[in-house]
Amino acid sequence: MIDKETLFEKTQSLLEYPQIMENVASHAVSEEAASLLKEAKPIYNAREAEETKEKVIALHTLIKSCNDEPRSWLPSIGFLFPKIETSGAVLDLDEVLAIGLFIERACELRNWVIKERAGSEESETEGRDALFAILGFFGSTEDGSFPDCVPAAAEIFRVIDREGKLRDIPALRAIRKRIGSLERELKSAVSKYAANDEYKRMLQSPLPSQRDGRTVLAVKANFRGRIRGIVHEVSSSGQTIFVEPLDVVEKNNEILLEKRNLDAEIQKILRELTEKISAFAGSIKQFHQTIIELECLRARAVYSAVTKGHFAKSGGEIESLILKHARHPMLKKAVPINIEMKNSTRTLIITGPNTGGKTVALKTLGLFAMMNQSALALPLDEGSAMPCFDGIYADIGDEQSINQSLSTFSAHITNISAITANATENSLVLLDELGSGTDPEEGGAIAMAVLDFLIEKKSRMIITTHHGILKNYGYTREGVENASVEFNAHTLSPTYRIINGVPGESRALDIAAANGLDAGIVEKARKYIDDEKSDISALITGLEQKHRELAGIEQKSAIEQNKLKEEKRKADLKELQLRQKEAEIKRGSLDSLQVFLRESRKTLENLVRELKEGEVDREKTLKVKGFLNDLARYAENERDVLDEEERAIREQFMKNETNAPPPAAGFAAGMEVFAGQSKQRGVIVRAGKKSAKGDSWIVKIGSLKMSFPEKDLIPASPVKTTVSPSWAAEYGASGDAVFELKLLGMRLEEATESLRRQIEAASLSGLKTFSGIHGKGSGILQKGIHDYLKKDPAVEDYYFSRPELGGFGRTEVVLR
């Protein structure tokens, strides 16, 4: 039997997971990180998978929100740690340069992450805590939370430059100066041979050559012995002899000794530098491990940003499997598919024609599950959800093997045996053409038995099949749902759309005819089917028809719902306008009253002063009575004005909210009315007591009976119930404009979205001013809201409220 690890590897290969990780690795700026990514496997531990995903999402957010991400190449230094940790070992210049550049560039990456975190919103910072805490990015390097390797890099670049060349150190400078002087003397000694006509004719070339690090002359063979010296080499043709003249030998010896001294001094410098680097070995090793881990995460984040995918919702709370417009990342022209398995559905049986997209759907789902558990964004739409699995197993395609004496059926059964042995309640099992490759009756029986076994284990399964018996199986088992790939009967081509709840037909005869099979053969095949045909195809056709009818009903229902929502919105706007008018009346009345009170107070103060200053006489008494009468007349006039305004509002309300005109015969018991200032709907019970203000009526509102003056009643049309209670509840949650918008506790994105909806609703309803309460806090929410208001064309002005109304924690908004 295949062991678990081998089964995992086979599944990954089947689903093309290695190719995805190759693409991810191409975005790394380190060969070491790229190698780790190429060998990476999906994370089957749910907690570890979620933690890794949180880190990648945090980096993904950083990358998308800034433009200065460092992308310098990180040299490979992991192989140098054994050498650094070995006593007496000496690093060469290239190795020292690699360590220095790695530390320097890795520090740039670390500083970028710290800087972006410090500048992020408070709400975003909280979401990135997992990344920074695990990688040690909290606080400064002084508190020991992150290894400080900057001193090691400083030591390295004190000795060499960033091209890997030794700097002009005094000890080396003296030796190089002596070598330069000796080389000039050597050049002068050799040049006299080329300058002398006698010697010049003996030379093959006037330019000296180098042999074994020593300067020699190329002498013609027939002049051998004419220039005394040491022969180093003879050319292959024998025509040239390379001779080191005796007067040049000593100069060559001196230069060679000085170069040996230079090499020794360089080795001494490198040995001392290696010892200094070794003192930081532990820190550099930890720093290297952390940075490579960070680079692996960043490559995932960069891949996710480049592919413009979305991270699927996952975690312990997510049980449903929902893919919206999922597109296979390895297909250039992938057709988006939708797959939905709610928590109650553990098995999905997909049927339908060949080339309909069943296998692609299986591969897409399996690959997305692996990518999700590798902390990668998926090419699908937002709102998708994917549980975490402890194992992903697949048997897809034909693995017939002549070498292993395996038939198609045997290969399938070998894989299925290993899957049934390893699958658990939290596993995802993908089986393509279950029960194929053998006798249909026996294959169908084996397929149902395998499904029974895995259903008992509560594994999550998606299978494809052409067995008609399995279509019926989907209707008779709890937690199992049929689905089909849609087929266009007119064009004889698949639409690649997956329909839940309806099994599909194989359409083998239609496809065979479309692909050129002889018409006589196809017709005879139809007769064979008609002779022994079961009712399954008729059942499927009926179900498909019912599905189309249901879709039409749902579409009509959606249209009706939209109409009702629009009517409700218009009614709400009218109510809001009346409320605003009422508020404006009250505000105007209050302002007038305040002016009247100020003037009356002055008059009253003058009268009191006159009374105090002299005796009370008839004239003064009449003056006081006249003042009081003026007050009474003013109050009566104001009451008349208010009554007139209320009458106008009632008429407007009646015009907009009801279709019934004022009753000609007056009010009567049993009549439905809007009562009081709040215009609550009620029913008149009986007439009330008469008073100086006019008639009154007893109105029942809910379970309460209250008395209202006749002037506060408005006739109401009888209620016509046209929507179900569930729809009405949905319509009640409308986005009305408010006078005071509370934004406290929201993220900046949520606050600006609420502000946008408020401005739209206020503009539609005619509300010109409102206030937004955002609090003071760190000022981030306050600044973000003001930035949004500054750019919104509908906003005329905005400013902080007066101190007694909230000051800097509240903003007043004026619309155009």
- The DSSP 8-state label assigned to residue 735 in this structure reads -
Q: Which long-range contacts (CB under 8 A, 24 or more apart) does 511-514 make?
A: 511/353, 511/354, 511/355
Q: What is the pLDDT of residue 95?
A: 94
Lowest mean pLDDT among 13-27, 129-143, 439-453, 710-724: 129-143
HEC sequence for 461-495: EEEECCCHHHHHHHHHCCCEEEEEEEEECCCCEEE
**Residue 367: what pLDDT?**
95
The predicted-structure confidence for 764-816, as pLDDT tens digits, reads as follows 777 888 999 988 877 888 889 999 998 898 898 998 887 777 788 889 999 88
Q: Are the beta carbons of 214 and 252 closer than 8 angstroms?
A: yes
C-alpha dihedral sign at 642, 643, 644, 646? positive
Residue 122 has pLDDT above 50, yes or no: no
Judged by average pLDDT, the poorest of 222-231, 321-330, 697-706, 718-727 is 718-727
CA distances in angstroms from 338 to 12, 324, 503, 537, 762, listed in the order given: 22, 5, 16, 25, 38
Helix (H, G, I), strand (E, B) or coil at 714: strand
Q: Tokens at residue 468, please?
A: 């008609």
Give the residue among 812, 790, 815, 784 at the shortest CA–CA distance from 800.
812
Q: Which amino acid is at 529?
A: I
How far the first Cα of the chain sits from its last, in Å, is 76
Contacts of 120 (CB under 8 A, 6+ apart): 62, 65, 128
Sign of the torsion formed by the C-alpha atoms of 701, 705, 710 and 715 = positive
Q: Are 489 and 502 in contact (CB under 8 A)?
A: no
* 720 pLDDT higher than 70: no
- C-alpha distances in angstroms, 259 versus 174, 217, 230, 407, 657? 12, 21, 21, 73, 104
Position 134 scores a pLDDT of 44
Which of 472, 445, 463 shows the shortest CA–CA distance to 535?
Answer: 472
Query: CB within 8 A of 78, min separation 6: which ones?
Result: 32, 288, 292
What's the average model confidence in pLDDT over 67-90?
Answer: 90
Half-sphere exposure of 79 (CA within 13 A, CB side): 6
Q: 318: left (phi > 0), else alpha (psi -120 to 50), else beta?
A: beta
* Alpha-carbon gap, residue 424 to 203, rounded angstroms: 88
Instruction: With a cut of 80, say whether residue 514 has pLDDT above it.
Output: no
pLDDT computed for residue 403 by the predictor: 40
| Residue 203 near residue 193 (C-beta atoms within 8 A) | yes
Specify the pTM: 0.59
Task: Give the separation between CA 254 and CA 258, rounded to whole angstroms.
Answer: 6
Percent of the chain having pLDDT more than 70?
81
| pLDDT above 70 for 182 | yes
Q: Is the pLDDT of residue 462 over 70?
A: yes
Residue 77 DSSP one-character state = -
**Region 336-356 average pLDDT:** 84
Give the number of other Cβ atoms within 10 Å of residue 570's Cβ. Answer: 12
Phi, psi of 120 (to 5 degrees): -80, 165
Tens of pLDDT along 218-274?
Answer: 999 888 888 888 888 898 888 899 988 988 898 889 889 988 999 999 999 999 999
pLDDT on residue 690: 74
The residues near 793 (Cβ < 8 Å, ≥ 6 apart) are 816
Mean per-residue pLDDT over the chain, rounded: 81
Residue 730 has pLDDT above 50, yes or no: no
CB-CB contact of 715 with 735 (8 Å): no
Average pLDDT over residues 483-502: 74
| CA distance linking residue 506 with residue 159, whole number of Å | 75
Q: Say if CB 388 and CB 321 are below 8 A apart.
A: no
Average pLDDT over residues 81-85: 92
Q: In what order do the strands lie in the sheet with 672-675?
A: 704-709, 696-701, 680-687, 672-675, 713-715
How confident is the model over 399-434, as pLDDT tens digits?
A: 544 344 346 778 888 889 999 999 999 999 999 888
**CB 301, CB 59: distance < 8 Å:** yes
> Which pLDDT tens digit goes with each residue over 793-806?
889 899 888 777 77
pLDDT band at 541 (very low <50, low <70, confident <90, very high): low
Point out the least confidently predicted range of 126-140, 164-178, 554-568, 632-646: 126-140
Inform me whether the pLDDT recorded for 587 exceeds 60: yes
CA triple 43-45-47, angle to 5 deg:
110
Identify the pLDDT of residue 721: 41
Tokens 């099992």, residue?
429
Q: Look at 76-80, 114-118, 176-180, 368-372 and tell me which has the smallest mean pLDDT.
A: 114-118
Tokens of 189: 């000694």
pLDDT at 758 over 60: yes
Per-residue tokens: 399: 């693995």
User: Model confidence at 366, in pLDDT bands (50, 70, 90)?
Assistant: very high
The confidence score (pLDDT) of residue 509 equals: 67
pLDDT band for 538, please (50, 70, 90 cuts). Answer: low
Round to whole Å and give the CA distance between 191 and 194: 5
Confidence at 665, pLDDT banded by 50, 70, 90: low
The pLDDT-based confidence of 439 (bands split at 50, 70, 90) is: confident
pLDDT score recorded for residue 158: 92
Least confident span in 99-108, 374-383, 532-541 = 532-541
pLDDT at 42 (0 to 100): 95
CB-CB contact of 675 with 713 (8 Å):
yes
Torsion of CA 557, 563, 565, 571, to 10 degrees: -150
Burial of 344 from C-beta contacts in 10 A (0-12 / 13-18 / 19+): exposed
Helix 281-306 / helix 46-65 crossing angle, nearest 10 deg: 70
User: What separation in angstroms does the CA of 127 have from each of 42, 231, 305, 749?
Assistant: 23, 78, 18, 14
CA distances from 581 to 43, 574, 635, 650 (A): 62, 11, 22, 12
Flag the least confident range among 2-6, 464-468, 638-642: 638-642
pLDDT given at position 536:
55
